[in-house]
Amino acid sequence: MSTTGTGRQRRIVEPEIARSWLLVNGSRPESFDTARASRADQIILDVEDAVDPANKDAARAAVVDWLGSGNRAWVRINDRSTPFWADDMALLAGVDGLDGVLLAKTEAAEHVTETFDRLGGAVPVLPLIESAVGIEAAVSIAGARGAFRLAFGSGDYRRDTGTSADDLAMAYPRSRLVVASRVGNLPGPIDGPTVGSSHPVLREQSQTTVALGMTGKLCLDIGQLPVINEVISPTPSDVAWARDFLADFEARGRVINDGSDLPRLGRAQKIEKLATAFGVNPL
């Protein structure tokens, strides 16, 4: 736990299980401290699509300056096919406070490994998959050296494929990332953002995220954070069931009674771990 500028205790959530990933425009350094003090599990300073090409140098400099002042964040960098990628690598390599990078428009495993190597081989890479080519290469991308967790660039994917935002139409790419993450032994993938300020829509889309097996969501606005964090957390009733099951399992000497015990034990242990990390209490 850490104290925010408002005096509220901010819970530290590790990136492997982080639910909300707040994107912050890298050319607006005045918003960085506010983002850090927010309810976001992780923050991502964006020097890619959010920043006009003419302003990228200034945005990079602002990001590096803030990180070098004792702060920590992820950075969304430009895609491997652009000249901006090399500039990002040159400035970010060795920067203190860089938790990792979100690599835009990843379409091949080599994009991940080249980024990982250029940053010194110690900075994790979140491949942001935003195209049909990327979706079909998801398994090899998930297995790339340096890949930490997959993320879905849903808006650019729709633009690339002509797919609608309908849940059914978007089920395939999301499920593909879930399966690829499992094959690559990565944590569950991070879903794309919801555009707009409607909390009912955000709640419904976050529930779809969970239903399809994704375990995080990109976020564009601080006001979305409470809903995302709530929906992508175990419910209090889930936590009550898990703790009751684990207590009963211990009381009977951890004896397996039937074929359903091991799957239920695994589910209960996972719920308990997440509930502890997220501060969810049983009913």
Q: Give strand ranges (E) for 61-181.
A: 73-77, 98-103, 125-129, 151-152
CA angle at residue 44 from 53 to 61, to 5 degrees?
45
Q: Are strands 73-77 and 125-129 parallel, antiparallel or unpaired?
A: unpaired
Q: Which pLDDT belongs to residue 122?
A: 95
Q: What are 110-134's pLDDT values in tens digits?
A: 999 999 999 999 999 999 999 999 9
Residue 223's contacts (CB-CB under 8 Å, 6 or more residues apart) are 197
SS3 101: strand
Q: Give strand ranges (E) for 19-164.
A: 20-25, 42-46, 73-77, 98-103, 125-129, 151-152
Residue 224's contacts (CB-CB under 8 Å, 6 or more residues apart) are 20, 194, 199, 202
CB-CB contact of 155 with 195 (8 Å)? yes
CB-CB contact of 79 with 48 (8 Å)? yes
Q: Which pLDDT belongs to residue 140?
A: 98
* Domains, in order of start, for the chain: 2-231 (3.20.20.60), 236-278 (no CATH)
Neighbours of 57 (CB within 10 A): 14
Residues of the chain with pLDDT under 50: 5-7
Q: Against a cut of 0.85, is the pTM above it?
A: yes
Q: Which pLDDT belongs to residue 1?
A: 56
Q: 218 forms bridges with which residues in the sheet?
A: 21
Q: 100 forms bridges with which residues in the sheet?
A: 74
Identity of the amino acid at 98: L
Q: Which pLDDT belongs to residue 7?
A: 46
In whole angstroms, what is the distance from residue 226 CA to residue 218 CA?
A: 13
Please name which of 242, 169, 233 lies closest in space to residue 206, comparing C-alpha atoms.
Answer: 233
Q: What are 179-232's pLDDT values in tens digits?
A: 999 999 999 999 999 998 899 999 999 999 999 999 999 999 999 999 999 999
In whole angstroms, what is the distance from residue 19 CA to residue 13 CA?
A: 8
